[in-house]
Amino acid sequence: MNKHLYTISAVNLRRASEIVEKLKIFKIWESVGAKANIVGSLRTGLMMTHRDIDFHIYSDNFKIEDSFRAAAELAKTRGVKSLQYANLLDSPDACLEWHAVYEDPEQKDIWPIDMIHILKGSRYDGYFENVADRILAVLTPETKGAVLKIKWDTPADEKIPAILIYKAVIKDGVRTWSEFAAWRKLQPHDSIIEWMP
């Protein structure tokens, strides 16, 4: 495993944490009585070329207007270029989705930020936090290296949920991009992949 991949990952993780702090995401959601949890590759420490920041957010008293107030506060921040909304409260996801794009005014790097405001007690309440923590618990230096290498080798135009890579590496022993590409063809194409080690 090339050390430069670990270096790239570490740099991206540090930048992501700086952006979260700069945008005051935790404070913004706290201001409307909600708790934001980091999920995804920032939580697992497995960030590579796909630099996105993912949050799952919970409120004791879920109100759509509170979600909009938090989103409006974020939208005022310099560098937030776009903010999209989807209401999935009537679906199994039971959430409001906010998808922001942030461009750092100084460094000019672009970061998608997904904030999923989830109804407490619904199907995915705490689920993906659990998934990330389980992945962290079972990662070894070998599997971490394989995940980072496959992420690095993934073509830029390929949109692959990271959970698929984790499943392939941890569960089925996949170690290279070519092995992963072959493995992926055999997998069901579910919109939400419910797997944890």
Whether 123 shows a pLDDT value over 90: the answer reads: no
Same domain, 23 and 67: yes
Task: Assign residue 13 the CATH number of its domain.
Answer: 3.30.460.10
Same domain, 134 and 114: no
Which position has the higher pLDDT, 74 or 93? 74
Same domain, 86 and 175: no
Which position has the higher pLDDT, 67 or 157? 67
Count the domains in the chain: 2
| Helix ranges (DSSP H) in the chain | 3-23, 25-30, 40-44, 64-75, 127-138, 141-153, 162-172, 177-184
Tokens representing 180? 């992963």
Whether 2 shows a pLDDT value over 80: the answer reads: no
Same domain, 25 and 119: yes
> Which pLDDT does position 68 carry in this prediction?
97
Same domain, 85 and 139: no
pLDDT (mean) for 112-121? 94
Whether 1 shows a pLDDT value over 60: the answer reads: no
Whether 82 shows a pLDDT value over 80: the answer reads: yes
140-154 per-position pLDDT tens digit: 999 999 999 999 999
* Percent of the chain residues topping a pLDDT of 90: 77
Q: Answer whether residue 190 is part of any domain.
A: no
Q: How confident is the model at residue 186 (pLDDT cuts 50, 70, 90)?
A: confident
Distance CA 146, CA 152 (A): 10
* Residue listed under structure tokens 């309440």: 125
Dihedral Cα 6, 147, 160, 132, nearest 10 deg: -90
Strand partners, 55: 38, 115
* Residue listed under structure tokens 């980091």: 38
Whether 156 shows a pLDDT value over 80: the answer reads: yes
70-80 per-position pLDDT tens digit: 999 999 999 99
> Which pLDDT does position 190 carry in this prediction?
67
CA atoms within 13 A on the CB side of 47: 23
Provide the mean pLDDT of the chain. Answer: 93
* Percent of the chain residues topping a pLDDT of 70: 98
Q: Answer whether residue 196 is part of any domain.
A: no
- The candidate with the shortest Cα–Cα distance to 32, out of 3, 74, 1, is 74
Whether 94 shows a pLDDT value over 70: the answer reads: yes
Q: Answer whether residue 85 is part of any domain.
A: yes
Distance, C-alpha 25 to centroid of its chain: 14
Structural domain containing residue 71: 3-124
Tokens representing 56? 């799952």
Global pTM value: 0.90
Same domain, 119 and 168: no
Distance CA 155, CA 177 (A): 10
